[in-house]
Amino acid sequence: MTRHVLAVLLLASLACAACAPVRPWERDALARPDMAWDPDPLGSGLGRHIQFSKEGSIDAGPGGGGGCGCN
Amino acid sequence: MVRPGLGALAAAALLAVAFAAPLRALELGDQAPAFSAPGLAGGTVSLASYRGKVVYLDFWASWCGPCAKSLPALDQLRREFAPGDFQIVAVNLDRNPAVAARFLKQRPVGYPSAIDPKGSLPGAFGVEAMPTSFLIDRDGVVRYVHRGFRDSDVDPLRKQIQKLVAAR
């Protein structure tokens, strides 16, 4: 029993050790534009606008109205 | 029944977690750690060799947007002061120094950059943002820490440098 508890503790602490924070000077790859959540905000905004205009409904994206595509 | 090896491993793992904690940042009034590192353009960059001058120590990387913006502004600032009074020393933190060298070829500056691809110096100085800069007085004491860069930061920085240059 104790051995199992210890083994779980060991694994848990090893997992914690793996979660090293990314230091500010280590962000090079993360700072690349293609690593952004939304690499093309303008394009995806346009896409959302077309989507809610054509579907005649409003999705979770911003913007009001629906159907006519005039807003 | 517990195997002793397992307990020791658990203890080692816990220790590893404890020591992964962030390093203490350098504070105002602290002595700047003297360092010597290879220069981006060859040779060696040594902070100690600038003792007696006011030094602006700048940590930068080519992938960091505000850093790119700060380089020409800093170079301009450097030219406003006598070389015997004020110098800029940069530490480049790109993992591949060749990328930084290419970057500087396009945007040349007149001050030296040390390279630290392993990132050991920012830990010693307690860098918490990119870019971070330390204004060091003639006695090697940190007098001003600056994080980030905006165009509007130049004027306050110039005033700080003037103050330290005047303090003989």
Asked if pLDDT for residue A8 goes beyond 80, the answer is yes
* Chain B CB within 8 Å of residue A33 CB: no
Asked if residue B20 belongs to a domain, the reply is no
Check CB contact under 8 Å for A25 and B127. Answer: yes
- pLDDT tier at B64, thresholds 50, 70, 90: very high
- Total number of domains in chain B: 1
Q: In this predicted model, what pLDDT tens digit does every residue of B27-36 receive, in sequence order?
A: 899 999 999 9
Instruction: Name residue A15's amino acid.
Output: A
Look at residue A50 in the predicted model and tell me its pLDDT.
82
Of the listed ranges A33-37, B16-20, B34-38, the one predicted with least confidence: B16-20
Asked if residue B72 belongs to a domain, the reply is yes
| Residue of A6, A20, A28 with shortest CB distance to B2 | A6
Range B115-136 average pLDDT:
93
Rounded-to-10 torsion of CA B77, B79, B81, B86:
80
Of the listed ranges A39-53, B112-126, B144-158, the one predicted with least confidence: A39-53
Q: In this predicted model, what pLDDT tens digit does every residue of B34-60 receive, in sequence order?
A: 999 999 999 999 999 999 999 999 999
* Chain B CB within 8 Å of residue A15 CB: no
Asked if residue B138 belongs to a domain, the reply is yes
List CB contacts (< 8 A) between B16 and chain A. Answer: 13, 17
Asked if residue B12 belongs to a domain, the reply is no
Look at residue B114 in the predicted model and tell me its pLDDT.
97
Look at residue B86 in the predicted model and tell me its pLDDT.
96
Burial of A28 (0-12, 13-18, 19+ CB in 10 A): middle
Asked if residue B116 belongs to a domain, the reply is yes
Helix then strand then coil, in percent of chain A rounded to 5, is 55, 0, 45
Range A34-40 average pLDDT:
88
* B116-133 burial code (b ≥16 CB/10 A, e <16): beebebbeebbbeebbbb
Whose tokens are 């060298």? That residue is: B101
Asked if residue B123 belongs to a domain, the reply is yes
Query: What's the predicted TM-score (pTM) here?
Result: 0.74
B71, B58 in Cβ contact below 8 A?
Answer: no
Q: Which chain A residue has the Cα nearest residue B9?
A: A10
Query: CATH code at B159?
Result: 3.40.30.10
Q: Which chain B residue has the Cα nearest residue A15?
A: B13
Q: List the single best residue of A4, A25, A32 to mutate versus B (max B Cβ within 10 A).
A: A25
Instruction: Give residues with Cβ within 8 angstroms of B167, minimum separation 6.
Output: B137, B138
Whose tokens are 């502004």? That residue is: B73
Residue B117: domain span: 26-166
Asked if residue B18 belongs to a domain, the reply is no
Asked if residue B19 belongs to a domain, the reply is no
| Residue of A7, A9, A20 with shortest CB distance to B20 | A20
Instruction: Give residues with Cβ within 8 angstroms of A2, minimum separation 6.
Output: B1, B2
* First CA to last CA distance, chain A: 66
ipTM rounded to 2 decimals: 0.71
Q: Which two tokens stand for residue B71?
A: 């380089």
